[in-house]
Amino acid sequence: MKTNQFTKLLAACIMLGVSFAACKKDQAPSFVKPPVDETVTGGNKLKTQGTSSAYYIKAGETHNFVYGNLLTTYNSYRVNTTTQTTTAYEWYNISQIYADAAMVKLGATAYAPYMNNTFAWMNNMWDGANPNGGYYASANVNGTGASGDKYADDNALSGVAYLDAYDVTTGTTQTNYLNSAKACANWLMNSGQWDNTYGGGFWWNTVKESKPTQTNGLALQLFLRLYQITGQTYYRDWAISIKNWLLTNMLDTSTGLYIWKIDGAGSGTKHTEKFTYDNAIMVEAFLLYGQIMADNTYITKAQNLGSSMNTTLWNSTYHVYIFNTTDGRINPAWCVWGSQAMIKLYQRDGNTAWLDYAQQNIDYMNSKLRNTTNLGYYHFCNFDGSSVETRQEGVDQAWMQRSQAMLSDYR
């Protein structure tokens, strides 16, 4: 999920769409209208702060941009509004499901059909011909042509997002989300993405290009949450192995932050750049580990990591999380992941300083990267807001919707 992933998926898509047994549908889900009342006025209220917050309103406006510009009649989401309008990326679609789950959690039940219909569309990206399954990284927006490489981080994020959807659904729909999260975990466990190279760790993709922090951190989150829900000890054991590998191989003790990746192809080169979203993912993983394993030392690790993020990855002039320590740009998705981590820290310990970082980071995006006419977000800019890259990528919209929905509960 680094910048080169925007070009990694341009290989020919030649395979037919397949069906995912855990959430199999008999026909294409119906197209639904945007929840205009809910996004603007806060219909279906549950939480007063969330539905009256300016951030809640902006989250709804972002969703309306997505509805008007990126959602297809197939209930998939095109990559962007300009250069890739006939292709859907797995993690873009999953991020929008994740964003809509955050709205449903606030009580805006009109977002549930979007979440559920895209979930059903995701069947098309599942490799039903492989006994271990796994999501392909891209497909055509009509669901055909899913093929190419599979990415462990994308599959792990899919499982995590499905468990957020599991938390806000009931009945058969809830069961299907859980089964799909289990299937994502099953692919991770049985696809050969984890091996003994460098003492363990998940490869980023089936090409086995590298072993990154974010891939393993997302898998750690997924296994922890599945252990919490199911009580199956093999999920716990996987979580412990991933956690130990990350601590041994990816922690830079001089900064208290996690590095980017270890190269494949036998070189073993460590890339020591520090990314905001890598470390945000690890904050969330340690909070989960501390809670689910009843080990408060990991709560302390999460808090210390959050403080290290705010020392090294925070630009104190512009009040925003940097993309990474070698790239002087800002991106809504990868940088706003830091806000999610700070909100989760606040949810754990009640320290409002975490919320201040989360809010200022989001405020920067609204000030520098939001199109004031169509209310969608641009892709990149420099720290000072110059050199705006005006592509409007689906994943950026999803993460701005999600982060602002989360913040709206408190600010």
pLDDT in tens, 345-367: 999 999 999 999 999 999 999 99
How many residues can be counted in the chain? 411
Per residue in 316-331, pLDDT tens? Answer: 999 999 999 999 899 9
pLDDT of 139 strictly over 90: yes
Other CB atoms within a 10 A radius of the CB of residue 150 amount to 23
pLDDT number for residue 272: 98
Mean pLDDT of 254-262: 98
Strands (E) across 53-140 are located at 87-89, 136-140
Amino acid 49: pLDDT: 55
Q: How far is CA 204 from CA 164, 209, 252, 344, in A?
A: 23, 7, 20, 25
- Give me the mean pLDDT over the 275-281 stretch: 98
Residue 397: both structure tokens together? 């919209």
What pTM was estimated for this model as a whole? Answer: 0.89
Instruction: Identify the residue with better confidence: 39 or 326.
Output: 326
Show Cβ contacts of residue 141 under 8 Å, excluding neighbours closer than 6 positions.
Answer: 72, 74, 76, 77, 78, 85, 86, 87, 88
Residue 33's pLDDT is what? 36
Provide the number of structural domains found in the chain: 1
Q: What is the CATH number of the domain that holds 226?
A: 1.50.10.20
* Upper half-sphere CA count for residue 336 (Cβ side, 13 Å): 28
User: Averaged over 376-397, what is the pLDDT?
Assistant: 98
3-state SS assignment for residue 320: strand
Q: DSSP E strands: which ranges in 327-398? A: 329-330, 381-382
Look up tokens 């998939």; give the residue: 76
Boundaries of domain holding 305 = 3-407
- Give the Cα-Cα-Cα angle 301, 303, 304 (nearest 5 degrees): 65
Share of the chain above pLDDT 70, in %: 88
